[in-house]
Amino acid sequence: MSAIFAVAGGAPLAADSLERAVRDMAPRGAERIEARVAEGAGVAGGRFAWEEESIPGPIVADDGVRLVVADASIYYRDDLRRAIRAATAAPAFAPSGDSPAHLILDAYRAWGRDCAKRLEGDYTFVVYDRASRTLIAARDFSGSRPLYYGRDGDRLIVASRASVVAAHTSHRGEIDVAALGASVAALLNVGEATSYRGVSVLPVGHTLTMTRDGRVDVRRHWDPPTIVDRPASFDEGAEELRALLTASVDQRLVHELATARFLASPKTS
């Protein structure tokens, strides 16, 4: 679990303002904070100190062109690396690193704004491309890690908490009474509205893109897989399920450490 904050467009925020926004999300992790300011954008992230052993690498990955901040666990990493190599024109670029943020960075280098389609895992992330002045933010299909967005004039704000986005929009935390009423009536997960005016939740399985001209587009990147080949018998199905679950759990283990996991879901594509 990590905290994500990013802005693009409008007047840039200073690094200390980015860090302050992450500290406002301390329940998601702010004992270690990293922030980067680029022309036209800024990104920051935070995590708990105890996560350092299980999440190697930087909170913000920066290859000089692209900035990536992620709240993520990426699975089937070897498969992903092979797909990246296959998708990259020769000579293939050297891998950025092994952290979730580095893997997402390399996926973006290979597939651009469509990279979330190729990722398996639990994630939210933000990529800012200095060259194209494009920001993308994405959320996996399971929705275990939140991400919200809003506008303040020309500026787009993205964060792990709706209250933090709300504090930076032109509405400055004003409550959306209609949306709050829907939540009180238990009409949850209906639409993108939140209890804060001007703040939307990024739907699960969707990617948000903000281009150089300030246009924002939100599109679905995930659809339920189609099952084509079915096992011929119950026993074959049981063996296939065993293999899928074994591989899935293996992907979620940190082999150098004692690890506890919930039952893991098999690969979806």
Residue 254 token pair? 């940190």
The answer to whether residues 90 and 164 belong to one domain is yes
Please check whether residues 232 and 215 belong to one and the same domain: no
The pLDDT of residue 171 is 84
Q: Please indicate, yes or no, whether residues 145 and 77 belong to a single structural domain of this protein.
A: yes
pLDDT at 234: 77
Q: Which residues of 251-265 are buried (b: 16+ CB within 10 A; e: fewer)?
A: beeeeeeeeeeeebe
pLDDT of residue 181: 65
Q: What pLDDT was estimated at residue 31?
A: 93
The pLDDT of residue 265 is: 54
What is the reported pLDDT for 225? 78
DSSP per-residue codes, 156-209: EEEESSHHHHHHHSTTTT-B-HHHHHHHHTT-TT-SSB-SBTTEEEPPTTEEEE
Are the CB atoms for 103 and 75 separated by under 8 Å? no
Q: What is the pLDDT of residue 218?
A: 96
Which pLDDT does position 50 carry in this prediction? 86
Kindly state whether residues 44 and 70 are assigned to the same domain. Answer: yes
Same domain, 261 and 197: no
User: What backbone phi and psi angles, to 5 degrees, belong to 109?
Assistant: -60, -35
CA of 52: how far to CAs of 49, 56, 86, 231, 256, in Å? Answer: 6, 6, 31, 42, 13
Number of structural domains found in the chain: 2
Predicted local distance difference test score (pLDDT) of residue 186: 54
Structural domain of 90: 2-220
- Residue 139 shares a structural domain with residue 205: yes
> Which portions of the chain are predicted below pLDDT 50?
255
Structure tokens at 45: 């992230």
CATH assignment at residue 65: 3.60.20.10
**Which pLDDT score is estimated for 72?**
92
d(C-alpha 162, C-alpha 45), whole Å: 15
The DSSP symbol for 229 reads -
Say if residues 192 and 203 touch (Cβ distance below 8 Å): yes
Same domain, 195 and 76: yes
Please indicate, yes or no, whether residues 120 and 245 belong to a single structural domain of this protein.
no
| Whether residues 245 and 149 fall in one domain | no
Angle among Cα 83, 259, 253 to the nearest 5 degrees reads: 15
Does 148 share its domain with 264?
A: no
- 107 and 145: one domain? yes
Position 179 scores a pLDDT of 65
> Two tokens at 180?
């709050």
